Structures are given as structure tokens and as C-alpha cells.
Amino acid sequence: MDLSGKVAIITGVSKGIGRSTAEALLAKGAIVAGWGRTAPEGLEHERFQFFECDVRNEIAVQEAYTNTQRELGPEIQILVNNAGIGHFGPVDGFSSDDWHEMFDTNVHGVFYCTKAVLPQMKKQHLGHIINVASLAGTAGTANLAGYCATKYAIRGFSDALFKEVRPDGVRVTCVMPGSVETNFNGAEPGQEPDPHKMQPEDIAAAIVHALEAPQTVMISELQMRPTQPK
């Protein structure tokens, strides 16, 4: 798909992979609706508009979608479900509130946003939904049981969804990165890029690659790993 002039919704746009994806799509000529609880600092562009949205709240998602269509027009070609959080720790010492917050953001939020855009994408017979999961959706890790469970859920959701909507001309890609240097889990990226981790812009480039594939091609899953991890 030629991205020039296409409207893309990106959730979790304030930093990390979401922000890098917004910048990458803007560079390709797309119009970007950034959804998030906080606006990305310093991201000012004539084709970028921020819409406050907590994806954990279905009514907030519906309002953000209505506002996006009012401001940018009815046609939405791209949704990047990127918003996500991770709380780590042993299952028997884990806060139930943290567990629920992860599922509300990482799983239910993806459902709410997807449900919002699908009718228009089906009507257009054109659309692409990118779900940002994780390699944690392919293998379990001690002390990451809850996070892994949410990402396994997104992988399963994506696999079922692409089979459901492909007759309507809608493509679905599940992107599963390994270690990425972001603010994830409260960590601050270093001054110099960590050579043992991928950078957010690397994931954004993979998302652009999937979006730009010919309309006859659907990249259903993308697994990404650092070449030389620690």
C-alpha cells in the first residue's frame, strides 16, 4: 500500500515504538492520528493530530474514533495497536490490580480499537491492522507470566482476526519484537544506543515494511530479535 495520504491511528503514541512509528509514517506522507493518555513531547507536524484516549475504556475509544473521523475524514486505512504495559513478578506475589491493568491495556484495548475501525475498513474493502505483540507471545518466561499471557492472547487474536477479515480486503499483521530499548517497565533508554537491543525505529521500519507490501500480500506475523543479544 502506498502510504501517502493514508490515515493511520496509532495507540500509545507518546514514546517508544508508538512515537517512532508515527514519525516513520509521517515521513512516508501518511496522516497520523496519535491516540494516548499523554501527547508526545515535541512531535509537531501538519499531518499529525493527537487525540487523548485511554484504550482501557471502550467509551473513550469510541469517542476518540468519532473525533478522528470528524477531524481527518471518514476513511481510516491503518490501525497500529501499540499501547501496552508490562508488570513483572512471581505469580504468587503478583498484584491482581497489575494483572487486570495489563489485560485491560494489552488485550481489551486492542479489541476495543479493532472493533471501532473494522466496519469502516470493511466498507472501504481496504485496511491494515498492526498488532504489536512480543516474543513473550511465543515462549513463557519466569516472572513474566501475566505479560506473556497478554501477548499470547494478542497473537491468538491476530491469527483468528486475519482469517476473519481477509475476505473483506483487510490485512492483519502481528509484530513480535524481542528486546527493544524503550521506557518499557520504567527503564530509561541510555544516551548511546544499546548494541544488544533493537531500537524503536527498527520496529517502526518493520511496521512500514508490512504496510507497504503489495495489496496481494499479507505479512501475517513478524518476529524480530536483536542480532547479538547479551
* Residues annotated as part of the active site: 147
Rounded-to-integer distance, Cα 29 and Cα 172, Å:
21
Beta-carbon-side half-sphere exposure of residue 165 (alpha carbons within 13 Å)? 28
CA 43 to chain centre: 18
- Give the 3-state DSSP-derived string for 92-106, with helices as H, strands as E and coil as C: HHCCHHHHHHHHHHH
CA dist 212 and 180 (Å) reads 23
* 190 C-beta neighbours (distance < 10 Å), count: 9
